[in-house]
Amino acid sequence: MNIKMDLCYLRLLILAIFVIFPCNSSAQCIKSTPCTCIREDGMGYDITSLNNKKYVVAEKNITFSPCKNSNLTFNLSRFNETECNSTSICWLNAKNQSIDLGKFEEGVWESPNDSKNVNLVFRHNSANKSIIYETKINLICCPNCVKSILNIDSIIGTKYNLTLLSSKTCLIRLKSLGLSTGSVLVILLCVFSSLYFIGGAVALKVFRGAVGLELIPNYDFWSDLPGLVRDGVAFTFSGCSIVSYERI
Ligand SMILES: *[C@@H]1O[C@H](CO)[C@@H](O)[C@H](O)[C@H]1NC(C)=O
Ligand SMILES: *[C@@H]1O[C@H](CO)[C@@H](O)[C@H](O)[C@H]1NC(C)=O
Ligand SMILES: *[C@@H]1O[C@H](CO)[C@@H](O)[C@H](O)[C@H]1NC(C)=O
Ligand SMILES: *[C@@H]1O[C@H](CO)[C@@H](O)[C@H](O)[C@H]1NC(C)=O
Ligand SMILES: *[C@@H]1O[C@H](CO)[C@@H](O)[C@H](O)[C@H]1NC(C)=O
Ligand SMILES: *[C@@H]1O[C@H](CO)[C@@H](O)[C@H](O)[C@H]1NC(C)=O
Ligand SMILES: *[C@@H]1O[C@H](CO)[C@@H](O)[C@H](O)[C@H]1NC(C)=O
Ligand SMILES: *[C@@H]1O[C@H](CO)[C@@H](O)[C@H](O)[C@H]1NC(C)=O
Ligand SMILES: *[C@@H]1O[C@H](CO)[C@@H](O)[C@H](O)[C@H]1NC(C)=O
């Protein structure tokens, strides 16, 4: 192999790394529907199929209706309440009152900085706007779970920390691998340059009986290229003046 050709491939490789890597670095899951979020790499979460299930209940005092608003008013509620009339998550407090923790439209997808986990987060103002309830449902993938299980991790003030274990809360492919235009161009470039050099070498060998460096198609051009590039760069950095160009 010729050193100049190796250099050419090295440049292609570096270009490929720069073009392809930024696409895979972002693991942020962007809400696409109230039930799904999707990352740039086409992977994501889809809990749509949970909404056909009965409500998911934790410890009899939190009821979650995934992806849709339902009447979640607790039967235990002591008063005629409309609070959880039509909502996605409802809490029965110590006074046996149903408290609305959020409508399905209020759900947002958030990933903690340090983790790849995803939380479905609800922030909801109490009816008199004096309290903001914040409910984080940490989705945990449990491939072998038959039932979906909602657990209360902690309740601190008006912050509710829940976990939802389910086979429906796993990271799945939602979109076929979306190659960026740049990646496609680099792949095409690699394919065609390989075809060009390998096919060219074979053709030269077969038709002209070429050996050694002669096997490189358009050898004169390629051997001049590094020099041309160097001159071009020097010309550019010297302020493109004719004088300095002539000095090169
Ligand atoms: C939820 O209900 C259980 C009993 O069903 C009770 O022990 C627990 O204290 C309740 N938790 C809250 C936060 O009300
Ligand atoms: C919601 O459910 C509660 C308890 O089951 C019931 O008392 C109430 O009438 C229902 N409200 C609506 C709007 O269906
Ligand atoms: C409330 O009671 C009604 C009828 O008694 C029942 O159909 C419904 O499932 C109960 N709701 C809850 C959340 O327990
Ligand atoms: C509950 O609602 C029913 C019908 O909507 C009403 O007749 C009853 O008086 C209400 N009870 C209370 C305690 O508000
Ligand atoms: C409660 O439900 C009834 C009947 O579905 C509806 O007319 C009413 O507006 C609801 N109230 C609230 C506060 O959501
Ligand atoms: C809440 O309801 C339960 C079950 O009916 C009852 O045992 C309890 O005393 C009630 N708590 C309050 C504060 O009313
Ligand atoms: C997460 O990142 C944001 C901004 O980068 C920062 O303000 C916040 O404190 C971080 N949170 C944690 C828990 O590290
Ligand atoms: C607002 O409502 C909450 C219960 O939902 C109650 O504890 C609080 O005292 C109310 N605040 C005002 C200013 O009415
Ligand atoms: C919620 O609970 C999990 C597991 O117990 C914990 O790692 C996380 O820090 C908690 N988050 C909040 C906001 O309390």
pLDDT digits (tens, 9 = 90+) for 61-108: 899 999 889 999 888 877 778 899 999 999 998 888 999 999 999 999
Could you identify the residue written with the tokens 């990646």?
Answer: 183
For ligand 1, which residues put their CB under 6 angstroms from it? 59-61, 94, 155
Element (H, E) at 165: strand 159-166
| Ligand with minimal distance to 153 CA | 9
Position 27 confidence tier, pLDDT thresholds 50, 70, 90: low
Position 225 confidence tier, pLDDT thresholds 50, 70, 90: confident
Quick check: helix, strand or coil at residue 198?
helix
Query: 94 CA distance to ligand 2 centroid (A)?
Result: 20
Best mutation site among 71, 73, 79, 80 for ligand 4 pocket (most ligand atoms within 8 Å of CB): 80
Position 23 confidence tier, pLDDT thresholds 50, 70, 90: very low
Best mutation site among 54, 63, 71 for ligand 2 pocket (most ligand atoms within 8 Å of CB): 71
Whole-number pLDDT of residue 43: 87
Quick check: helix, strand or coil at residue 136?
strand
pLDDT digits (tens, 9 = 90+) for 49-73: 887 666 677 777 899 999 889 999 8
Whole-number pLDDT of residue 24: 44
pLDDT digits (tens, 9 = 90+) for 36-55: 999 888 889 999 888 766 66
pLDDT digits (tens, 9 = 90+) for 114-154: 667 889 999 999 988 889 999 999 999 999 988 888 999 99
Query: 153 CA distance to ligand 1 centroid (A)?
Result: 12
Question: Is the pLDDT higher at 133 or at 189?
Answer: 133
Q: Are 67 and 86 in contact (CB under 8 A)?
A: no
CA-wise closest residue to 166 among 72, 73, 30, 50: 50
Question: Phi then psi for 221, rounded to 5 degrees?
Answer: -60, -50
Q: Strand 30-33's sheet: what is its strand order?
A: 30-33, 36-38, 43-46, 172-173
* pLDDT of residue 219 exceeding 90: no
Whole-number pLDDT of residue 198: 84
Domains of the chain and any CATH numbers? 2-23+179-247 (no CATH), 34-173 (2.70.130.10)
CA distance 231 to 247: 11
Least confident of 62-71, 143-152, 189-198, 227-236: 227-236
- The phi-psi region of residue 54 (left if phi > 0; otherwise alpha if psi is between -120 and 50; otherwise beta) is beta
Whole-number pLDDT of residue 116: 72
Least confident of 11-15, 111-115, 217-221: 11-15
Query: 72 CA distance to ligand 3 centroid (A)?
Result: 9
Report the chain's mean pLDDT, rounded to a whole number.
Answer: 80
* CB of residue 82 inside a 6 A radius of ligand 2: no
Query: 161 CA distance to ligand 9 centroid (A)?
Result: 6
